[in-house]
Amino acid sequence: MIKHIKHPSIIPVDGNKKIEEFFGIVNTNDAEISIAKMTSPQGWIEPPQTPKFDEYTLVLKGTLKISTKEHEYIINEGEAILTGKDEQVQYSTPFDGGAEYIAICLPAFSIHLVNRK
């Protein structure tokens, strides 16, 4: 099966972060995987979450900070990180220029699976 995605769905979120979903529940009605491009400005911070999905993140531009209970990870342009399901994480972009990154979630991102605090 081939799916040609001509444009993403823009997912509304609080603050000034932009989510462009190419594959997932909203754009393709797919609950198995979501692939989205995220754009977050300097100073953006997401509430802590303990999701029921694995999230693979690839930073395209800028720098992303990911905090867990034990560590802080600074993910620079061209680097990637995997955060596992059931692990508390918090994403932010405290650095100049913010960040653009690709997020791949297995199973697909869902507000019901993210478990934000």
Same domain, 35 and 47: no
Would you call 113 helix, strand, or coil by DSSP? helix
Split into its structural domains, the chain has a count of: 2
Same domain, 34 and 45: no
Mean pLDDT by 10 residues, the chain (117 residues): 95 89 97 97 95 98 97 98 97 97 97 88
- Domain annotation covers residue 105: no
Per-residue pLDDT, 1:
86
Same domain, 62 and 92: yes
Peptide bond before 8: cis, by omega within 30 degrees of 0?
no
Same domain, 30 and 70: no
Per-residue pLDDT, 111:
86
* Whole-number Å distance between alpha carbons of 35 and 63: 19
Residue 14: CB atoms within 10 Å: 7
* Whole-number Å distance between alpha carbons of 70 and 88: 10
- Domain annotation covers residue 50: yes
What's the pTM?
Answer: 0.94
Query: For residue 79, what are the domain limits?
Result: 41-99+113-117
Which CATH number do you get for residue 90?
2.60.120.10
Nearest to 95 by CA among 33, 16, 40: 40
